[in-house]
Chain A
């Protein structure tokens, strides 16, 4: 957690756009890792919602036929 905060503060408190950390993230392509992680997290949430939606639709259909 401390490493993460230090890293974040390094990025955030800088008045310059390109800090050494930014360069590390962008030029080394590591930013893509961050993007990929966020997309993965969100996709899992989206899949959960889709499944929940389908379950509820099924329940509704059962109730409507009964």
Chain B
């Protein structure tokens, strides 16, 4: 069996599409706190920019788990899962950086600032780019899988520290939930935003998983074809 049954199911993919369309329509048309200082209506970007990162983290968690599984099992399917999910996670990271940068440029006047979270996110992308390069440099499949999985073993915790832990510890920050700013606790997120945000996040995460499973399935087909 090349792909697990769960990957071929449709219900969660339909849910992803529905949730995201809801995020677009509801995010733009439903009431929202459009009067918070300089943000004005751009607050609605919340439903798009932030889920990119939640999706990236989710995909990296899956990749991490399968990396560990590969180290203990040696099953190449596990390595394919691990690497496919990293690759799609990077796609979402790229979108997260691009959307964040664009949002910042037109709301606060700059493409980038020296901020703990932003720097952490950028370094995180570099770390996983190195993962890519590492994989490409090794021809032997088993070695490639083992080296990548061990790299992942270090890379993922460091990534979490870079984008979540250190920003929270920073003294000041311009980014929500870092340094001295407030974040997504119950007191801070407006109820109107919540109505869209939670479903938007679910939708984007499911979409990310869908794309990652497609990458996995295609890679597995190619791998097995080459074996034959």
Is B195 interfacial (CB-CB < 8 Å)?
Answer: no
Decide if B2 touches A64 in the complex (CB within 8 Å): yes
A53 to B109, CA, bound (A): 41
Decide if A60 touches B217 in the complex (CB within 8 Å): yes
Decide if B2 touches A60 in the complex (CB within 8 Å): yes
Total interface residues in chain A, CB < 8 Å: 31
A59 to B218, CA, bound (A): 9
> Which residues of A are found within 8 Å of B109, using beta-carbon distances?
13
Is B21 interfacial (CB-CB < 8 Å)?
Answer: yes
Mask: chain A, 17-57; 1 = CB below 8 Å from B; 0 = not? 10100100000000110110011001100100110110011
Chain B residue at minimal CB-CB distance from A19: B40
> Which residues of B are found within 8 Å of A56, using beta-carbon distances?
3, 214, 217-218, 221
Q: Is the interface of B mostly helix, strand, loop or mixed?
A: helix
Decide if A63 touches B25 in the complex (CB within 8 Å): no
Which segment, of B29-37, B129-137, B143-151, faces chain A?
B29-37
Given A8-B106, A17-B35, A52-B214: A59 and B221 interface contact (C-beta under 8 Å)? yes
A64 to B8, CA, bound (A): 14
Residues of B14-32 contacting chain A, CB below 8 A = 17, 20-21, 24-25, 28-29
> Which residues of A are found within 8 Å of B21, using beta-carbon distances?
39, 42-43
Decide if B221 touches A49 in the complex (CB within 8 Å): no
Is B107 interfacial (CB-CB < 8 Å)?
Answer: yes
Is B187 interfacial (CB-CB < 8 Å)?
Answer: no
Chain B residue at minimal CB-CB distance from A57: B8
Given A31-B28, A59-B221: A15 and B106 interface contact (C-beta under 8 Å)? no
A17 to B2, CA, bound (A): 53
Least Cβ–Cβ distance between A5 and chain B, in angstroms? 7
> Which residues of B are found within 8 Å of A35, using beta-carbon distances?
24-25, 28-29
Given contacts A35-B28, A42-B17, 9 further A-B pairs with CB under 8 A are: A5-B106, A8-B106, A11-B41, A13-B38, A16-B40, A49-B211, A56-B214, A63-B224, A64-B2
Can you list 11 A-B contacts (CB < 8 A)? A15-B37, A17-B35, A31-B28, A32-B29, A34-B28, A35-B24, A57-B8, A60-B2, A63-B221, A63-B224, A63-B225
Per CB-CB distance, the 8 closest pairs between chain A and chain B, nearest first, are A17-B35, A17-B34, A12-B106, A46-B17, A38-B24, A60-B2, A12-B107, A8-B106
